[in-house]
Structure 1
């Protein structure tokens, strides 16, 4: 109010035609609900009421009563209107402040709920993630990680409660001041209902995951038991088969005692093999359990055991048969066989020896192998050595034929000059003596059939 407050002739208050400048636009501003849609930058720009700046001026008007101003009745009437307007502005200011506080709570809620919502989504993905393990160590690692996650749940529970408390505080401000806001929180789409739903689902997934891990741990413990059980049995069966193979070979090659003694020892081995069959059957049953449990990373394999067992069976039977045939063959040479007896023994074992010129030549080659001294007799040791070579070197015939084919320049026959040029003299002479003439259409004078000779010496070829 301009003017001298001590002059009784000059009005000390504005006339009705002069409104109070401090109140212009204040009510419209305070009643504006721009905070409903304002973003963070807008919230920071919202101005506060400057009514406090006019507090002293209103108090000065009240002092006119003490100065006995002549027109104080009109002044008081007008002053009352100003105070009424002041009270209205104060009420609007309080309402706007409450609305802004709610908006600030919404912003605080949005800042807290975003990272918590992301954490819950990531945790639920991990809890529902499939796992594939093969050992106890791997599943124990997953269980330890899950226990570590569960230890963080109390802190997460407190954070969940704090976020809901912020939202409830905003709701309390709204209800207390009867604030009507259009729409939802302008700073986030994650409502408390969404947070509660995800938190409830997370609480359900935690025990499910724990139960699944415990089931897998029990499964891996069972698998480990099967592995150890199979390995324990296989570590006994495998060496037993190897020991029997060595024992049969030793009986066959060592000339200790009579043929009857050797046959008796071989028969004992054969009976022990038959008696040991239940152990192999038990191992097969354990292997079946391993297959049904989908256990593949096992140190011992059943295929290796089966191969050893089949070799054992295919070794003992022919060896027993050989000794029996040798015992039954007439012996006029002090334990050695003559050519005819040796041929009969070969025929009884399944060797086909033709009664023609070529068959005779092939048999003579075999005789040179078993009777290198040209004594006309085949000793038992020579016979065993020949049969051992026949039963073990199944690919020798193919290898020998392939070697001769290289020497012959890829021809189906070879001549004596090529053998003498490529081989030592004694070996060349031996091959020339063993080989029969080649009868093929492309034969040349002096052509030798290296294929039939190799087959006669080492068995049938696959070439």
Structure 2
């Protein structure tokens, strides 16, 4: 009943996890049958089963943990897709975050300790000072205030991903910042940017992301689409719908 690791795009991964989670849920009827058989054995005072090392209780617990893991994985992938679409983080970046977390989640519990988190963050290039056990670490404490404010001693994948995503997007605070960035790579007096300007000024990955999501610019006076022009103003307004322009 173990939950599998998925590969491919975020949408591909989500589809695989949904199918696997559905299979796990369908196994619940088998667990129920095993529980019923276990009750019959107990009724006959047969408390030990030499043919298996598992108990009905442990099987039910493992099923419940796997079912919950599937729901968490679905939620996390859905959240990553939303963030990718809203903030422009690449799938490779999000995947790198998740892969690094799973590397330190040796027991596959879906959570890592504070020391594992610190190693994980360092591996991702976040500069954290080396400290001995018991020594104060104010820089890391600031991170813990975000991911584990109650100091439970561990951090879930969702909490970690939320922090990493927030960290990567903290410099994108307003639609004006995005608009000014597009103006800087095109003509400042134009309400659109050209495809070739996007490719010339951005990395290939970021350029393709922008071009795939920014709609064509249509001249409001003629109603005619300008060839190769992208309506970055509409794009930024969709990113920040609550902000005034």
TM above 0.5, one fold?
A: no
TM-score of the pair, normalised by structure 1: 0.25
**Bigger relative CO (Cα 8 Å, ≥ 6 apart):** 2
Give the structure with higher Rg (CA): 1
TM-score of the pair, normalised by structure 2: 0.44
Higher strand residue share: 2
Higher helix residue share: 1
